[in-house]
Amino acid sequence: MPTAPEVDSFVSELGHPLEAAINAVRDIVLGVDPRIVETIKWKSPTFVFEGNIASIEPRSKKQVSVLFHQGAKLPGRHPRLEGGGGTVRYLRFADEVDVIRKRADLERAIHAWIELKGG
């Protein structure tokens, strides 16, 4: 799935020190399933399929933080997802190399969302 021009512009204009890692996350998520789209919600790049899957928190400058809106509900085991509350979970990446290293974890979480939504 190609990236959305509005999100391309948003990420480019951020001047984020980890822009390459953000774009790597976007490419991975969009590559999981062609039905996933991205948009800007809450001033954040957000991935959507049958509801909001996850958002990249652009205010975090020392890491790329991906917030899974319903992460606690994802079926299966996801040991790299952080957070202990009733809803949200995070997957964090130090840099582009870390994104590549944790790619399978990111893809597994996205697949779990699609499974949860009956896709």
Domain assignments of the chain as residue spans, ordered by start: 5-116
Segment 20-43 shows an average pLDDT of 97
Q: Which of 54, 56, 55, 64 is nearest to 110 (CA)?
A: 54
Reading across the β-sheet that carries 37-41, which strands appear in turn?
A: 37-41, 44-48, 52-57, 64-68, 89-93
The proportion of the chain whose per-residue pLDDT surpasses 70, expressed as a percent, equals: 98
- CATH number corresponding to 5-116: 3.90.1150.200
HEC-encoded secondary structure of 75-107: CCCCCCCECCCCCCEEEEECCHHHHHHCHHHHH
Q: Which residues contact 98 (CB under 8 A, 6 or more apart)?
A: 21
Amino acid at 35: R
State the chain's mean pLDDT as an integer: 95
Q: What is the pLDDT of residues 46-86, one digit of tens each?
A: 999 999 999 999 999 999 999 999 999 999 999 999 998 88
